[in-house]
Structures are given as structure tokens and as C-alpha cells.
Structure 1
Amino acid sequence: MTARREPAVPVAPGSVPGLGHVPALLRDPLGFLGSLSHLGGVVQIRLGPRVVCVVTDATLVHTLLVALAHDCPRGAVQSTLKTAFGDGLLMSEGQAHRNRRRTIQPVFGPDRMAAYVPVMQQVAEERVGRWQAGQPLDVAKEMNHLALEIVTRALFGARLEEEATLAFHRALPDMVKGQIVQSLYPHPAFARVPLPVNRRFDAAVRVLNRVVDQAVGSTGGQAAADGTLTALLRGAVDPVSGLPLTEADVRSEAITMFGAGTETVSSTLTWLIQELLDHPEAAARVLAELDEQLEPDADLTPEALDRLTYTRSVAQEVLRLHTPNAFLMRTATKQVELGPYTVPAGTELLYSLTALHRDPALYPDPLRFDPERGQPGSAAGVGRHAFLPFGAGKHKCIGEAFAWAELAVAAATILRRWRLSPIPGERAREVVWTAVQAQGLQIRIEPRTDDRRPALPALAALSAPAGVGLVVPAGPVVPVGAAEVSR
């Protein structure tokens, strides 16, 4: 009987002597990673002297994150943050991760969302209420400030000074750039060399720690019953030692929530606005739904947000097309099987959720913005393994429900208050590090009229050239079903 012969892991072409595929990865990260799927479900590349296997198949990525989560813990990208911020939820593994996740989970429970949504709405209304009609608006900067303030107020019950907010906004890009560069070093010791990128990374880490200390310190005297994350952490005990969490533990979890809850959400909101500018018919339909489902000046609730089914579909498509995680890594601690491929112990594994969500084998015409893709019964619908914006398995984003609510609240608050207009030549551009950032979008805003319905034709002309108007025919907006989101 002939033994089954396992296929060899294919090797990507174009390796440069001494550098491997680093030039291609830095020149066009998403294009390079997306080009590998036709070679196989697992493809070998070189990062300098390091051999890395890129997992390109959606089912195999899901297997890596779920079935192989114990045998393939997080790798070089997250290790950079662990060195900077400690062993928090984002960086921990094994029993330590399970213990910390159980400690934090109540903060994101369904019962807490009813308390968070009004805070989100208040913050959003305060922030957008300071915008000036007719003045250019830097969307990425405003969305970053909005997301940071929501996290600070909702999760920590604190307020940051404006200078701290600005410092956080300035420091975050240097931290993200440093994270990816250090993850590509041939040896971790290179992170200690006083290169400019390392110095900027270290300075950014110091700034972010100061900002977090301001938020955490301002809630230090509150009781654990008040529901803030800081109070919960300060009232928790380590299940093994029985001792309270240290201040370093509290800071580590705080920086995790600040980083994960700000950069990804602000980028998604920026892309959401860009896509609505580019697709006035979708913008008109979102606005019609907001006007139909939400009472003027009424407080938002989780139940009200659940009625915004088309708005949810738009946000889902934005997350598919502009998934914030450009790439992440895992390391095989033992020999594992990924489909037909055998991966030796010690192998570094890289995957890109952004590239996965743009795979034409999963999403026909993948760069086309189409909110109908996720609708039940749609021919464009795909399996749950092919839509993983929040990851999967034990490391799936703990704040998924919080993020969905934040996106809906921000969109509803902005669009019901302001009419958005593009500035010719100004649009969001993709800047890819470990996250896919949106930079460069400038818009002008004008207040909506008190009579909400006549505002729809103007909104439909969002992306028309100056002097050209697009008219939306009168008639009812056809309702759509609720979006099916990966759970």
C-alpha cells in the first residue's frame, strides 16, 4: 500500500538575496499577500533570514485561530507590544489569558451595553457639535479623537485633557510603524539598536503610557461596583495567587483597550464616510433608515440600533473591504497540520484578514463596495469562515459588540446632524502598517435642515463634481433584512 504523499509548502517567487520578500512586503503589503493565494493555502516566504509561512486559505486561517490556538500562540507582531506594555489580554497566552479574559468579560456583557450607548451618544454629540460649518474637516483626526473619547468615558469613566488626546493621536502612528518594523527584524536584539524608528517607537510608548495613566489614575478611588474597567480590574484577584492585580496589570489592560478601541474604530469610521461619499445611493438609504427608525432628538438604545439593519450592512461591508488588521502572526510550538500541509515546530505563521476579505475566490469583484453581500439569501453571501473582522477562537476581539455599537452611534449622530460634502482631490488613502489606516480625507459639512426628508437629494449628491447635482427619484426605500454577522 502506498503511503499518502503530503504536498510541499510552495515557495513564493521574487525573493531578493539577503532580504527575501521584505521589499515586496514593504512596497505593497496587501498586494503582495493577496497575490499568494493562487500558489496554495499555505505559502512560504522569507523575511531576511527568517522563513515564514503565510496562511492564505480562509478555512485554514479559521483552523489556525480556533483548533490550533493552543499549539500556535501569537507571534512576533504581538511580542513587540508585550515588550512595551506587559502581559495583558492582547499579549497573554494559555491560562493567564483565560483568567484575564474571564476577569474582563463582564465589562462587555449584554447588560452593560445599555449603559454604554448613552455615553457613546453624548460623547459623539459633544464632539460633532464642535465642528464648524463650511470649514475643512480632517476626518481621520476627528474620528481618532472621537473613538478615544468614547473609550475613555464609557470604559474608564474618565475625561482626558485635550492635550493628552492630541498627544495620543500624534504618538499612535509611530507606535504602529515601530511595531511592524520590529516584527520584521532578523533578531529581536535589533529593537534595542538606537535607530530612528526604534527611538520614535520608544517615545510613542512613553506618551501612550502617560495618557493611559491619566485615565486610569483619575478613576482610582471609585468602587468596583461602578462598572468601569479600572474599578473592575482593581477589585479583581489573580485566581492562582489570590492576590489583587498589580498596577502594572491594570495599565497593561488599559493600554490594550485604548489601542484596540481607538485605531481600528477610527479607521473604520473614516472609511465609512469615504464609502458614503463615493456611493451616494447607499448614503441616501442609510439616512432614510436613520430618519425612519430613530425619533428626532431621542436617546439611542441597543434596541434602536438593532433596527438599523441596512446601516449595519454598510458597516459590515466597510469592515470587509477595509479590515483594520493588515497582518498578524502565530508561532507553531509543535508540528501541526494545516489542511494537507505539515508545518514543523518553530515555524512562524502569518495571515492577513484584509487580504482574506479581498480574495476574489470568496468575494467576486472584491474591491467593489456592495452592502448587499452580507444580506441573507444574497448570491454574494459567503460562509462564516470567510468573514473574520474580529478574529476567531479564544483570542477573538472581546469588544466586538462594543465596536458595532460605537460604529452605529457615531454614524447616526454624524449623519443626522451634518450634510457631508467632499473637497475635490481630497480622499482617504490606504496607509498599511500592522493596521490599515485611512489618512488624508478632508470634507466640508453643513447642518441638515429641520425638515429631514428634503435633505435626501442633497446627500445623494455627496460625491458629485462641483456644480453637478444628482437627483434621487421620489419613492419608498425598500427595507432589507438584518445583516448576518460572524459570531
Structure 2
Amino acid sequence: MEIPGPEPCAGGGAGAVAAAGGLHVYQLRLHAEYGPVVRFQLPGAESAVSVADPVLLEAMAHLDRRPEGLFSFLDPFFEAGNIQVMPAGEHGPWRRLMLSVLAGRPSHERHFPRFAELVTELADRWAERADGVAVGLQKDLTTLSLRMICAYALGDDVVDPERAVAAFEDVLTEQLSRLYGVPGRERGGAERAREALGHLRASVDRVVAAHRRGGAGGRSDLIGALVDAGESPARIRDTVMMTLLAAHHTTGVAVSWTLHLLGRHPEAAERVAAELDRVLGGRPAPAYGDLRRLPYLTMVLKEAMRLYPPGPYGARETTESLTLGDYVIPAGTTVFYPFWAVHLNPEHWPDPEEFVPERFTPEAVAGRARLAYIPFGLGPRGCEGAQLAMMEAELILAVLLKRFRFRPEPGHEVVPVERFVLWAADDIRMRVSSRAAP
């Protein structure tokens, strides 16, 4: 059976993606019109198919090749080769090394006190403002998450976070605009991107060099593991750059969308606050072991990442023909699993656009298709930092929701847009007030 989809058009699909406002929304529209399996055009992928059915995704879970053209926008971040498209034989050992650090409880527990300090510093700054003053969540929380991942991956807060966030944005915006032909890129963008990339590389190089000398970088579990494994200096820098890029975007954005949803569902916010009061008592921040005792907060975070998944999609390339239900996908096809479309599939999520944290009770999860929820991807190329990201996000939410109430800023419209992650076009501005205030 032929896979349904729009008729081919000039430009390789770039115009359709740009007109929709990004790949997130474009894939949502394709699946709404054509069903759970759709063929479409996309720059960087000669033949593309998107799959939004979690049952059909099971047949793709083993795939271990990423399409090089699709991830070429990340090439400037890497010197030893694009980590995102490493061949399977090289990727497997590297992935096991990364998981031994990023997914390890001892490493998380060791860094937890420093993470709590950083979150508390942000909360203290917010507390100094008058109650009810609006805060731009994305800006502050993305900077916070970069500080946290710097402490983890670089050994301490040695990078200027605000400059680093801006530098990552300059490079990504320039590269994505080239890939998708996005109009309106201001002049000088290419030069700014080159300067930004130079700043990022130099910052990481200083820390790696200090680690090798036994200096400030010596507290980095990640750099230490890479050095001990005999990785080249270029691969070490590339790995650290990728970790900084992926971690600061996703965690800060996930927490921002969670607070946005809680601001619009005060009954859920009150239930989170009551759980925090019961578990923490008078303590302003949790200990590492307390996170297991906050199940409702975890459900809220997971539901927020279902409704607003930070990443846009996962993608693989078939090395042989693949049967998906009634369709046969030829070898060499780029196959997408679009997180947003999967998470809003009404066959697996009743009333999919409603915010219902109870979807993530153990009983509800057990009764649902395994791949209906995939915010960190799936299979051998899934996100190595998923457990670290969840721990960071839960800690941030616990500290902020113990101390503050978050209410929408009147008149401020929150519009999701794609900027490498699912961003809000004009930030997420919310009024922040002390829970002790009337």
C-alpha cells in the first residue's frame, strides 16, 4: 500500500515547514490530515516518512543509524565528527561510557547539593522582587540549567552562562536557517555564529586543559571518564559541547512549560505544594532521597513534557526494507518519530490536549502502549542524559513550588515555536509571589 502524504513541491519541503512554523507543527498537521504514517519532503532527507503510532514504532526501536543530512546543522559544534551520526560500531562504546556517568546515581547524588545551591540562588533573587512581579521563565531557567550542567560537565560554574546561552542560539539559528531556508535572517548572522562558536570552544578547551593539569576541571565526572577512556582531546571537547547544548535547552524549557501549565491549573499547583509541604516540612529544598517521595510532582512534569515535549523529533535511516502495518518502507528512508504527534495521538491519549497528570499513575502507565510517551527518544540512540535531566527538573520544580505561586501574566500570550527545542515566542512571563503572601 502506498504511504499517504502531500504532493512533492519545489524547494524540497522547506517552504511547507517554514509556513507551518517549524517541524513540530508541520508533523502535527500532516498526521491530522493523512493518518499515523505519512510521507513528506524535508531538506536533508531525500525520502522521509513520519510515524505517530506508538504500536508501529515498536518495529523501529532497533534502528541505530541517524540520517547524516538531517543532523548536518550540528556539524559546526564538532571537530572529531558529528556525534549525533556516529556509526553504530563507534557509537555503542561511546554511549556506554556516557551512560556510566550521566545515568549513574552516585554521580547524581554527589552533584545534588551544588545543584540545590544554584536553584536556591535563583529563588532568592526572585524573592527579592516585589510579590506579583512578572518573570521571564525561559530566560532565567535556561540560564539556570546551563549553570547546572556546567557544574556537572565542567566541574564548576566556569562559563558565563548568559553569554554561552546566546552563543548556542547564534550558532543554531544560523545553521537551521540555512538548512530550512528560513527567510528574514538578519545580516551578520554568519559572522556572529563563527565568533560564538569560537567562544564556546575556547571555554570548553580551558576546562579540559585544566583537568589534564589536575586543576579546576578535575571535579568533572564526565571529563574524567572521557580522559580515562583514552578519548582524543577533540572528541572530549565535542562530547562536552554536545552535553552543554542538549542539557541546557531541554531542562530549562521543560520546567518553564510545567510552570506555565500549573499557572493555568491552580488545583494541580496546590496539590504539588501540599505534597512538598508534607515531604519537606519546613525545609526549603529537598534532599536527593526526597525526590522519590514526590510522585505527584513527577506526574505533573511528565504530563507537561507530553503536552510540550522539549525536543521536536527522533529520526533514523533504514538500512533494509521495514514493514510498518500495511506499509513497506524501503531501505535508505529517513523515518521520523515526531514526539508531539505521538504524544497527542487520540487513539492512545483520550482528550489529548487536556492537562491530566493522573495519566502517569503506575496503573495508567501499565495500561498504555510502551512507546506512547517518548520525550527522550527510544532505542539505541535515546537520550543518554534522560535520568540526569529528570532529576534536575524535579529539583528545580520542588524548590520553586515550595516557595512561590505562579500565575499567568495578564495579556501575555504564550505561543509555542520551534527553536531547536519547543520554545515560547515571547518567553513565558508569569507573576511570581511568595506562598506566604495572601
* CA distance 1:215–1:314, shift in 2 (3 Å): farther
- Partners of 1:133 and 1:447 within 8 A in 2: no
The residue number in structure 2 matching 1:167 is 163
- Secondary structure at the counterpart of residue 35 of structure 1: helix
The residue number in structure 1 matching 2:299 is 313
Identity of aligned residues (%): 26
Q: 1:122 aligns with which of 108, 117, 125?
A: 117
* CA distance 1:93–1:179, shift in 2 (3 Å): farther
Superposed CA offset, 1:385-444 (max 9, x none): 111111111111111111111111101111222333432122532121432113422233
Superposed CA offset, 1:300-319 (max 9, x none): 33321000000000000011
Q: Matches of residues 6-405 of structure 1 in structure 2 within 5 Å? A: 7-13=1-7, 15=8, 17-19=9-11, 21-28=13-20, 29-37=23-31, 39-47=34-42, 50-64=46-60, 66-69=61-64, 72-86=65-79, 87=81, 89-108=83-102, 109-131=104-126, 132-134=128-130, 135-161=133-159, 164-184=160-180, 198-199=190-191, 201-222=193-214, 226=219, 228-237=221-230, 245-297=231-283, 300-378=286-364, 382-405=368-391
C-alpha distance in structure 2 between counterparts of 1:12 and 1:220, whole Å = 54
Specify every segment of 5 or more residues in structure 2 that has no aligned partner in the other structure, as ranges.
none
- Partners of 1:271 and 1:428 within 8 A in 2: no
C-alpha distance in structure 2 between counterparts of 1:58 and 1:198, whole Å = 39
- Partners of 1:374 and 1:380 within 8 A in 2: no
Shift of 1:325: 1.6
* CA distance 1:88–1:50, shift in 2 (3 Å): closer
- Secondary structure at the counterpart of residue 388 of structure 1: coil
Matched, 1:442 2:436: no
- Partners of 1:107 and 1:227 within 8 A in 2: no
- Partners of 2:18 and 2:180 within 8 A in 1: no
C-alpha distance in structure 2 between counterparts of 1:280 and 1:409, whole Å = 20
C-alpha distance in structure 2 between counterparts of 1:333 and 1:181, whole Å = 29
- Partners of 1:84 and 1:205 within 8 A in 2: yes
Amino acid at match of 2:213: G
- Secondary structure at the counterpart of residue 349 of structure 1: strand
- Secondary structure at the counterpart of residue 335 of structure 2: strand
Specify every segment of 5 or more residues in structure 1 that has no aligned partner in the other structure, as ranges.
1-6, 186-193, 238-244, 450-454, 459-487
User: What do you get for the CA RMSD once the two structures are aligned?
Assistant: 2.8
TM-score, scaled relative to structure 1: 0.79
C-alpha distance in structure 2 between counterparts of 1:233 and 1:96, whole Å = 14
Amino acid at match of 1:82: D
- Secondary structure at the counterpart of residue 346 of structure 2: coil
* CA distance 1:26–1:233, shift in 2 (3 Å): same
- Secondary structure at the counterpart of residue 337 of structure 1: strand
- Secondary structure at the counterpart of residue 363 of structure 2: coil
Shift of 1:287: 0.5
- Partners of 2:152 and 2:220 within 8 A in 1: no
- Secondary structure at the counterpart of residue 163 of structure 2: helix
Amino acid at match of 2:429: Q
Amino acid at match of 1:331: E
- Secondary structure at the counterpart of residue 133 of structure 1: coil
- Partners of 1:422 and 1:442 within 8 A in 2: yes
Amino acid at match of 1:306: R
The residue number in structure 2 matching 1:3 is none
Shift of 1:198: 4.9
Shift of 1:262: 0.5
The residue number in structure 2 matching 1:470 is none
C-alpha distance in structure 2 between counterparts of 1:358 and 1:105, whole Å = 29
- Partners of 1:20 and 1:47 within 8 A in 2: yes
C-alpha distance in structure 2 between counterparts of 1:30 and 1:298, whole Å = 37
Larger Rg computed on CA atoms:
1
Task: Select the structure that is richer in helix.
Answer: 2
C-alpha distance in structure 2 between counterparts of 1:422 and 1:67, whole Å = 42
Amino acid at match of 1:155: A
- Secondary structure at the counterpart of residue 310 of structure 2: coil
- Secondary structure at the counterpart of residue 419 of structure 1: strand
Superposed CA offset, 1:41-71 (max 9, x none): 432212379432222322333432x2232xx
How many residues get paired?
Answer: 423
Shift of 1:159: 1.6
C-alpha distance in structure 2 between counterparts of 1:298 and 1:421, whole Å = 21
C-alpha distance in structure 1 between counterparts of 2:143 and 2:249, whole Å = 10
Amino acid at match of 1:23: G
